[in-house]
Amino acid sequence: MGAFSDVFANLWTRTWERVLDNKGKLTATGGLLVGIILTLTFKDLYPDLEASFRRRLGRTRTNGTYHALPGQADYVRLEDHTRTTSKAAVDEDDPRRTVITDDQEILTGVEGLIGNTPLIKLRSLSEATGCEILAKAEFLNGAGNSPKDRVALSIITHAEEEGLLVPDRGDTIYEGTVGSTGISLAAVCRARGYKAHICMPSDAAIEKSDLLLKLGAIVERVKPASIVDSNQFVNLARRRAEEHTANADLPGRGFFADQFENTANYLAHQNTTGPEIYAQTSGSLNVFVAGAGTGGTISGVALALKPLLPDLRIVLADPQGSGLYNKVKNGVLFSSTETEGTRRRHQVDSIVEGIGINRLTANFSAGMHLIDDAIKVTDEQAMMMGRWLVEKEGLFVGASSCVNLVAAAVVANKMRAEGKKDARIVTILCDSGNRHLSKFWKEAGEVGGKDVEFTLDEILAKG
């Protein structure tokens, strides 16, 4: 041990001889050694200093409270899960260890996963059209994986505020839907202490009713019929709710969600979807494109954005068989498939589910005056667009999303022809293609290992 101490002392003395000359002044070699020592020391201390700085900075920032846009109604607020005050990093000394440098916000329940969906740029469509086409990924809502999550939460919250629903009382929510709203309602119902009873047309994709059953909903599939028929799926849901409430042997009461006429639908989008788009684009967009089933999305977003962006164009994407295109373009609610002897189905003559309708709803009417134009999209165009998105973007989406993107591409080409190449167009990706396997995607076919089969111009030429 003594010999080691002597060697260490000798090494230390020789080191300081290099650092200081015989007059006690710092030598060039000494300065280099001191610099290395200080650098290594600061490197070890820097993460702690940075974390301390970020904690102090975080305390000076806003607490993330909600701020309404100018003129925006104070209505149902969805959970905000974009506020992140923490940063996770891998420990350099131990890669298996994750270091959290601040407090991580924890969301509450499935409701915390609704809203604040990302806005993504679609590269292939943007490059093909010369305009920037952005899509709000509403299929990433975390309850039912569609924009109907917002509607379901809004309807339920409003009914609770009105005293129409009471959690864990035995109340059941009834709704007539082709799928997405029912799926969102089933998920949110379970989270909030209710049961769901869904009535849907028997020709809707079977995977939707299968999913509803897995979510604990009661499902009635009924023969497609006109809205004037008392056994039409929406009318049946209303009647079932009334029967529940009138039956003293059943617990709680029945509540008819009424997504087509309940204005909590469009208000959900006016208060959340529209403001999110405004924030995500920093108020810089030229066109908003969306389809309409209930009409809640297009009306709500238009009502939120038009007062802030008077030059914004709102464009309806309408599938074949729907009468809304003619209502916007010509003021008459009519589809050529209404002609006697030409209709193939009892509702809207299209393979597309979720959008398209032949009557005016309260939700569509709320924002109809703000819609500037409409684009008619054929089933063939929608199916080709679905394949294009898989091949070019790796996105597997449902029928209504494909209709939206065909319309967005048509609008982009028109704007390019007008010399507005740098226009920004926003639309909606509604749900995943997983819900459309047995119907829309069965007809669209398998992509397999194929390369891109057609150009965008070939898709649009099918209109």
256-281, pLDDT tens digit by residue? 999 999 999 999 999 999 999 999 99
Helix, strand, coil percentages (3-state) for the chain, rounded to 5, are: 45, 15, 40
Query: Which CATH code for domain 147-256?
Result: 3.40.50.1100
Closest alpha carbon to 149 in 187, 177, 175, 120: 187
Q: What is the pLDDT of residue 41?
A: 53
Query: Which residue blocks in 61-179 are alpha helix, DSSP H?
Result: 123-129, 148-161
Residue 153 CA neighbour count, 13 Å, CB half: 27
pLDDT per residue rounded down to tens, the chain (463 residues): 555 455 445 654 565 555 555 555 555 555 555 555 555 554 555 555 445 444 443 433 333 333 455 544 444 445 444 444 444 455 556 555 544 555 567 889 999 999 999 999 999 999 999 999 999 999 999 999 999 999 999 999 999 999 999 999 999 999 999 889 999 999 999 999 999 999 999 999 899 999 999 999 999 999 999 889 999 999 999 999 999 999 999 999 999 999 999 999 999 999 999 999 999 999 999 999 999 999 999 999 999 999 999 999 999 999 999 999 999 999 998 766 544 344 444 445 789 988 999 999 999 999 999 999 999 999 999 999 999 999 999 999 999 999 999 999 999 999 999 988 889 999 999 999 999 999 998 999 888 777 768 899 999 999 8
Comparing 119-141+263-461 with 147-256, is the CATH topology the same?
Answer: yes
Q: Computed from CA positions of residues 308, 260, 220, 253, in that sequence, does the dihedral angle turn out positive or negative?
A: positive
Per-domain residue ranges for the chain?
A: 119-141+263-461, 147-256
Residue 164 CA neighbour count, 13 Å, CB half: 13
SS3 463: coil
Q: What is the pLDDT of residue 58?
A: 40
State the amino acid at position 389 in one-letter form.
L
Distance separating alpha carbons of residues 200 and 190, to the nearest angstrom: 19
Closest alpha carbon to 76 in 61, 87, 66: 66
The question of whether 148 is a catalytic residue gets the answer: yes
* Antiparallel, parallel or unpaired: β 287-290 and 424-429: parallel
Distance separating alpha carbons of residues 198 and 216, to the nearest angstrom: 11
- Using an 8 Å Cβ cutoff, are 364 and 295 in contact? yes
Query: Which CATH code for domain 119-141+263-461?
Result: 3.40.50.1100
User: Helices then strands (H, E): number in the chain?
Assistant: 16, 12
Distance separating alpha carbons of residues 405 and 295, to the nearest angstrom: 17
The single residue of 43, 121, 148, 421 carrying the catalytic annotation is: 148
Query: Which residue blocks in 162-232 are alpha helix, DSSP H?
Result: 180-192, 206-214
pTM score of the predicted model: 0.78
